[in-house]
Chains A and B, each alone.
Chain A
Amino acid sequence: MVDLLSVLASGILVGTVYAYMAYGLGLIYGVLRVVNLAHGAFLTLGVYVTWWLNTTFGMDPLVSILITVPLGFALGATVERTLVFRLRDSPPVTTLLLLFGVWLIVRNALYLIFGGADRSLLTSYSLESLAVGPLTLSIPRLIVSGFSLLGFVVLALMLKRTWSGLALRAVAQDREAAALSGVPVNRVWAVAFGIGSALAMSAGSLMSLFYSVTPEFGARFLLKSFCVVVLGGLTNIGGILVAGIGLGIAEDLTAFYIHTGYRDVVSFLVLTAALVMRRADSD
C-alpha cells in the first residue's frame, strides 16, 4: 500500500512537470498550426544552459529560469521569423520537416560544445527529502512541481487577462477573423513561437534538477510532450495538466510493477492510441 502511494505521489510530481514541459508544444500548434519538432531542442538547450550556469557561476537552477525564459523567447521568435514564417502556406508536414532540420543542427551544436557525456548538476537540496506520513517525497521534485504549477497560473493569467493573451487566443480560434479585426497576426505568430520555446527552455531548467542530460535528451521528452498534448487537448491548460499527471502515474506504475525498461514504452503507446482514438481531423 505504501509502495502504491509513493508510486502515485512520485507520478503526480513528475506529471506536473510533464504538463509544463508539453504546454509550449500545444500553444504553438494552437496558434500557428505547426508541429514544433524542434521542441526537444529547446528543452535540451534549457537543461544545458542551466547546467552551464550552475557549474560555471554556481547559479541555482531555479534562478536560471530568469535567463532561460527570455533566451528561449528570443530563439523561438527568431526561428519563427527566419524559417517557419516562409512556409506559412505550405502543408504542415513541410514545416515539421523543416523544424526537424533545426533540431538536428542544435543537437550537433550541443555535441560540439558539451560533448556526448552525461551531464548532471547537484544543488544543496538535490538529495533532500521530506517525510509526509509514511511517504518520503523528494524535495527537488516538490519544488519543480510547485514551480510548474506556478508557471501554469502565470500563463493562464496572461492568456486570460492581457491584450497579448487575447490576441493569441483570437488567432488560435480563427486566423482570418483575427486579422480582419486588426490583430497583427504575423507578430502574434512570432510571440506564440517565442512563448512556446521559452516554456520549453524553462522546463529544461526545472528538469535539470533531477535528470542528467546528453544531446539526445530531447527525443524522449519530445514524444512525451506530444503524448500529453494530444491526450489533454492542444491548448486546454486543465486538460494538459490532467494528461501530464496521468502519464506520470502510468509511467511510474509500469516502471514499478512491470519493468523499469518499459517506462518509455507507455508514453509511446498511449500517444499512438490517443491519436488514433481522437481520429484527428484531416490536417
Chain B
Amino acid sequence: MSSFARRQVLLGVGALGGLALLAPLLLANPYSSRLAQLLFLNVLLASAWNLVGGFAGQISFGNASLFGVGAYATSMLWLAGFHPFFTMPAAAVLAALYGVAWGWPCLRLRGPYFAIATIGVAEATRIVANHIEAAGGASGLTLPLEEDLGPVLLYALGAVLAVAAVLVSAAVRRSRLGLGLIALREDAQAAAASGVNVARQQVTVFAITAALTGLAGGYYAVFTLYVVPEKVFGFDLSISLVLMVLVGGIGTVMGPVLGAGIYLFLEQFVLASLADIHLAAFGALLIFIILLEPRGAAPRVAQFVRLIRRRAG
C-alpha cells in the first residue's frame, strides 16, 4: 500500500469516526438530522461536480440530469420491491451510463460551448421526464415511509457517501488522470500534444462525476421520499452546484466541502429570512465571488489554518 493510499484510508476512517462522534449532536432532533442529510448531499454533489468542473475546467450546468436519473432509478426500483439501499449501485450505474451517453459527444466542446450544450441536454431531459407516465409524469413519485429506515441509518449512509466522494476526489486529483485533466484545463492543445488523451480522460472523469451524482440522487430519494421532475431534473439544482464549488474554491479537494457547508448555511439561515430576495442574493454572491474572490473561500481558510499552526507551533 502506498503512503498516499494509507493516508487516504486513515483520513477516511478519521472523518467517519469524527462524524460518528458528532452523530448524537446532529441526530438530536428531526431538523438537525435533516440538516446533516442535506450537508452530506451537498458535499457529494459538489465534489462530484468539481471533478469535471474544477479539475478539467469544464463547467456543467446539466448535472441535474444525472441527479434525476439516480433519484428515479432508486425510486422506481424501490417501488418495484427492492430494498432502497440496494438500489444505490443501480442509481450510480444508470447515471454513469446516461452521463457517458451525452458527455461523450458534448465533452469534445470546450468552455462556454460545453456549458451551453449541458443546459440543452438537461432541459430536454427535464421536459421528457415530465412526460413519462410510467414514472409518474409531472406529479412525480411518492415513496413509502419505512420504519427501519431511521435517521441513524440515513445519517450513516450519507456520511459514508460524502466521505467516499471526497476521497475519490483526492485520489483523482493525485492520479495520472487528474494531472492530465489539469493540463487540459490550462491548455488543451499543449496537453494533447504532450500525449494526454484529451477525449478519453474527460469522458472517464465525467463517468465518475455522473456515478457520484447518481448516488446523490438515490440518497436524496431515500431521505425525502418524494421525487418530482421539476425538482430533481431542475435547472436550479444544477446552478446550486456551480455556486457551492465557486464559493468554496474551484479545482481543490476541500473547496467543494467548504462550499457545500457555506451554501447550506446561507440557504437555511440567511435566506430563510430573506425568502423574497434569495435569487438576487445568490446572483449578487456569484458576481461578488467572480469579481473579488475568484478562488473562493478555500485559500483564505488554508491561510487561516497556517496562521493558527504557526501560533501554536
Show the binding face of A for B, using Cβ within 8 Å.
Answer: 35, 83, 86-87, 90-94, 96-98, 100-105, 107-109, 111-112, 219, 223, 226-227, 230, 259, 261-262, 264-265, 267-269, 271-272, 275-276, 279-280, 282-283
Q: Which residues of B contact A102 (CB under 8 A)?
A: 283, 287
Q: Report whether A275 and B117 are in contact in the complex, using a CB–CB cutoff of 8 Å.
A: yes
Q: How far is the CA of A188 from the CA of B106 in the complex (A)?
A: 33
B219, chain A: closest CB distance, angstroms: 27
Q: Does B113 contact A (CB under 8 A)?
A: yes
Chain B contact residues: over half helix, strand or loop, or mixed?
helix
Q: Which residues of B contact A111 (CB under 8 A)?
A: 276, 279
B230, chain A: closest CB distance, angstroms: 11
Q: 13 additional contacts, CB 8 Å, given A83-B291, A94-B294, A268-B124?
A: A91-B111, A92-B112, A97-B242, A101-B284, A105-B287, A108-B278, A112-B277, A226-B119, A262-B128, A265-B128, A275-B113, A276-B109, A283-B112
CB proximity to A under 8 Å, residues B282-297: 282-287, 290-291, 294
Q: Check A98/B287 contact, CB under 8 A, given A262-B127, A269-B124, A279-B109.
A: yes
**Interface residues of B, count at CB 8 A:** 43
CB proximity to A under 8 Å, residues B173-209: 188-189
Q: Report whether A276 and B105 are in contact in the complex, using a CB–CB cutoff of 8 Å.
A: yes
B78, chain A: closest CB distance, angstroms: 27
Show the binding face of B for A, using Cβ within 8 Å.
Answer: 57, 59, 102, 105-106, 108-113, 115-117, 119-121, 123-124, 127-128, 130-131, 188-189, 235, 239, 242, 246, 276-280, 282-287, 290-291, 294
Q: How far is the CA of A275 from the CA of B57 in the complex (A)?
A: 18
Q: Check A276/B131 contact, CB under 8 A, given A97-B290, A103-B283.
A: no
Q: Report whether B117 and A271 are in contact in the complex, using a CB–CB cutoff of 8 Å.
A: yes
Q: How far is the CA of A227 from the CA of B123 in the complex (A)?
A: 13
Q: How far is the CA of A91 from the CA of B250 in the complex (A)?
A: 14
30 contacts between A and B (CB under 8 A): A35-B112, A92-B112, A93-B115, A97-B242, A100-B239, A100-B283, A101-B287, A102-B287, A103-B283, A104-B286, A105-B279, A105-B283, A108-B277, A108-B280, A111-B276, A223-B119, A223-B120, A259-B131, A261-B130, A262-B131, A265-B128, A268-B121, A268-B124, A269-B120, A272-B117, A275-B109, A275-B116, A276-B108, A276-B109, A280-B113
Residue of B nearest to A270 (CB): B120
Q: Report whether B110 and A100 are in contact in the complex, using a CB–CB cutoff of 8 Å.
A: no
Q: Which residues of B contact A267 (CB under 8 A)?
A: 120
A254, chain B: closest CB distance, angstroms: 11
Q: How far is the CA of A261 from the CA of B59 in the complex (A)?
A: 29
Q: Which residues of B contact A108 (CB under 8 A)?
A: 276-280, 283
A231, chain B: closest CB distance, angstroms: 12
Q: Report whether B280 and A104 are in contact in the complex, using a CB–CB cutoff of 8 Å.
A: yes
Q: Report whether B280 and A282 are in contact in the complex, using a CB–CB cutoff of 8 Å.
A: no
Q: How far is the CA of A271 from the CA of B127 in the complex (A)?
A: 15
Q: How far is the CA of A100 from the CA of B242 in the complex (A)?
A: 11
Q: How far is the CA of A226 from the CA of B131 in the complex (A)?
A: 24
Q: Which residues of B contact A272 (CB under 8 A)?
A: 102, 105-106, 117, 120-121, 124
Q: How far is the CA of A86 from the CA of B292 in the complex (A)?
A: 11
Q: Report whether A261 and B109 are in contact in the complex, using a CB–CB cutoff of 8 Å.
A: no
Q: Report whether A282 and B120 are in contact in the complex, using a CB–CB cutoff of 8 Å.
A: no
Q: Which residues of B contact A91 (CB under 8 A)?
A: 57, 111
Q: Which residues of A contact B108 (CB under 8 A)?
A: 276, 279
Q: How far is the CA of A83 from the CA of B288 in the complex (A)?
A: 10
Q: Report whether B294 and A226 are in contact in the complex, using a CB–CB cutoff of 8 Å.
A: no
Q: How far is the CA of A262 from the CA of B59 in the complex (A)?
A: 27
Q: Report whether B279 and A107 are in contact in the complex, using a CB–CB cutoff of 8 Å.
A: yes
Find A97's partner among B57, B278, B286 (CB 8 Å cutoff).
B286
Q: How far is the CA of A101 from the CA of B106 in the complex (A)?
A: 24
Q: Which residues of B contact A100 (CB under 8 A)?
A: 239, 283, 286
Q: Which residues of A contact B110 (CB under 8 A)?
A: 280, 282-283
A132, chain B: closest CB distance, angstroms: 33
Q: How far is the CA of A259 from the CA of B133 in the complex (A)?
A: 14
Q: Which residues of B contact A86 (CB under 8 A)?
A: 291
Find B291's partner among A98, A259, A261 (CB 8 Å cutoff).
A98
Q: How far is the CA of A8 from the CA of B125 in the complex (A)?
A: 27
Q: Chain A CB within 10 Å — which of B124, B188, B294 has the most?
A: B124
Q: Report whether A261 and B127 are in contact in the complex, using a CB–CB cutoff of 8 Å.
A: yes
Q: Which residues of B contact A265 (CB under 8 A)?
A: 124, 127-128
A221, chain B: closest CB distance, angstroms: 12
Residue of A nearest to B285 (CB): A101
B274, chain A: closest CB distance, angstroms: 10
Residue of B nearest to A35 (CB): B112
Q: Which residues of A contact B119 (CB under 8 A)?
A: 223, 226, 268
Q: Which residues of A contact B124 (CB under 8 A)?
A: 264-265, 268-269, 272
Q: Report whether A280 and B276 are in contact in the complex, using a CB–CB cutoff of 8 Å.
A: no
Q: Which residues of A contact B235 (CB under 8 A)?
A: 219
Q: How far is the CA of A86 from the CA of B290 in the complex (A)?
A: 10
A84, chain B: closest CB distance, angstroms: 11
Q: Report whether A264 and B283 are in contact in the complex, using a CB–CB cutoff of 8 Å.
A: no
Q: How far is the CA of A6 from the CA of B106 in the complex (A)?
A: 35
Q: Which residues of B contact A279 (CB under 8 A)?
A: 108-109
A141, chain B: closest CB distance, angstroms: 24
A113, chain B: closest CB distance, angstroms: 11
